[in-house]
A and B are shown apart, each in its own frame.
Chain A
Amino acid sequence: MSAPRSDARAPDVLRPLLPALLALFGIVLLLNLISFAFGEAPLATLRHAVAGTWGTPYGIGQVLFKATPLIFTALAFEIAMRSGLFNIGAEGQVALGSLVGGVVGAHLPAGTPWPIAVTVCVTAAAITGAAVALIPAVMRARLGVHEIISTIMLNRIVEVLLPFLLVTVLGATALRTVDVVPGAALLKLDRIFPALRGSAASVAFPFAVALAFGVDALLRRTRRGREMRWIGINAAACRAEGIDVPRRLVQAMLLSGAIAGAAMMATVLGYKGYYELGLGAGAGFTGIAVALLGRGHPLGIVLAAVLFGTLQQAGLAVNARVPKEAMDVLAAAVIILVAVANRAAAKPPVKVIEPEPAAPVVAS
């Protein structure tokens, strides 16, 4: 009926890229404004930001390191969001998962071979993350309590519990756990690519990338994953169709929590070798921005995580001139920009007003 409207509109190929382009443009513009407000020459700040990230192999390694936990937390948010849930609790799930994973890693026999040590640590962290997510999951699925409030309450609870667990239960003196056994420490990427020397990037990064594609396959190719996505689209229809909606919601939330907990791979196993208070903090919230920017595509999530990893590393590079919190402001701005652009990109270009059909003439 309607002719294709190709005139004066971005070609369809570009439309999915619009949010990403807008985000990049917004980041550069806002960074300039902020450095201007702090009395720094905008271009110099930008140059420092680029030089500290993509300017050196070490910077690139650091970007990948910063991006790794974000991939985990973004995937955690993504799985829940596809099922129609908002898991804002990754922050607490990451923190408690890291603590438990670190403690388990420290208590393994010293000679444990790495495949076993790493598996045990990550599994312990994932189970802990899932356990933190279990409470909001059950409250949502069985009692109808909205998960936003309950996950945030759990974040606060974990925040209070951590120092208590470290000091009172574990008897730590420096708000950190004991070093994990050598077998549990992940291989650093600079062993494979010597150019990255000194950076904290580890094999957790390729693992996270693989996980992104694995999660995508789970959501698309398995019955369980497809049902989760359908529930996200229309829970009432799924209920009518005989799908056990509460069960799937709990599963989605548990999986989300488990992946968030596994983010400790990048920080505890891949970097420090122990857990200390505040390690990995903020990844939960930034992961939300990453998931929104990644738009449900595994590669999109990885690229978005690298973008935010760049921002975080750049924040450290410019910290002497502009507070590194400026990068969190940028992250928030990106969420808003991307959300607006996503809507604009999804909107049909022009609303066509169909002429009213002429009233049928009735022969009198």
Chain B
Amino acid sequence: MSSIFSLTMLAETLRIAVPYACAAVAGVWAERSGIIQIGLEGILLTSAFVSVAVAVGSGSAVLGLLAGVAAGALLSLFHALLVERARVDAVVSGIALNLLAFAGTRMSLRGLFGSASNSPSIEAFRLGPTGASGLALLARVLCDPVTILAVIATVATPFVLARTRFGLRTRAAGENPAAAAMVGVDVPRVRYTALLISGAICALGGVHLAFDQHRFESGMSNGRGFIALAAVVVSGWRAERAVLACLAFGALEALQIVLQDQAQRTTGSDLIQLLPYVATLLVLGFAAGRAASPRGLGKHADS
């Protein structure tokens, strides 16, 4: 049992939590500005693919990171335009984005790399000490540039939302768009900006996912965007709590990996994979009814 309380476990928890936390913070940005965003899954997947494709093509992980983030931001902006300008139902738009990302990445995988399952492997970033000890593992996780960017975005989000003029406008657009518009806030513009930020942060999660595996795998986001969305709901749309929920989730998944190592070859060990999903359902059942969503979520300034 000592393997459960160790530096390895801590490092694994952090590493696993990064994509969840990025997607959750992205969800907070989108939904606090008033736009329902269930397309986080698609953004994770798209940015993961684009970052790997560009990294393979250019041989540069930095370019891959930038391209992945740009792709995520643009996809998110596209969602905002569909919802704000074309007045498409945000849930429908989100479903379409997820489908588009899932099918689009699979199609491009075949087109670019001639494979149905995964891309060739990439170098990504290899910083920090080598070695298999828990401390070295932790140091490597903390040295990873994508993780550092993700941590910065995660820490900055509650501050920006609570303390800056733009954050105030974002929250105003999400709480009462009509009133915000009346006092001169350009609600659509605020929402476009918020969704750009949201997409970029979510994309960090996607890039992390791909760089961590050193390649892209078909459908590799594996429901993380939806679990992050659950974290947003459970946290009552507060970034810092959502991140805590994601860390708890990371711990759960790290535990699952540890347990699966130990429980190998025993009956029903596959069922441990159910853990994250069942836990999400349970937590939602206990907490969701009490959390209050932004009051202007899904509303427009002029209706």
Contacts and interface: CB of A to CB of B under 8 A. Distances in A.
B99 A335 contact: yes
B99 A143 contact: no
B148 interface: no
Interface string B178-191: 00000000000000
* Interface range for A: 35 or more
Contacts of A21: none
B20 to A, nearest CB: 14
Given A37-B111, A139-B281, A332-B99, A156 B223 contact: yes
A328 B111 CA distance: 15
A288 interface: yes
A163 B270 contact: yes
Given A145-B289, A339-B88, A150 B103 contact: no
A232 to B, nearest CB: 13
A135 B281 contact: yes
Interface in A29-51: 34, 37-38
A343 B273 contact: no
A332 B289 contact: no
Given A326-B107, A329-B103, A153 B82 contact: no
Interface of B is mostly: helix
B226 interface: yes
Interface string B148-174: 000000000000000000000000000
Interface string B75-115: 00000001000111101110111011011101100110000
A343 B152 CA distance: 39
A195 interface: no
B103 A149 contact: no
A331 B99 contact: yes
B34 to A, nearest CB: 16
B82 A340 contact: yes
Contact of B230 (A149, A326, A328): A149
B111 A323 contact: yes
A110 interface: no
A28 interface: no
B96 A332 contact: yes
Given A149-B280, A323-B111, A326-B107, A292 B92 contact: yes
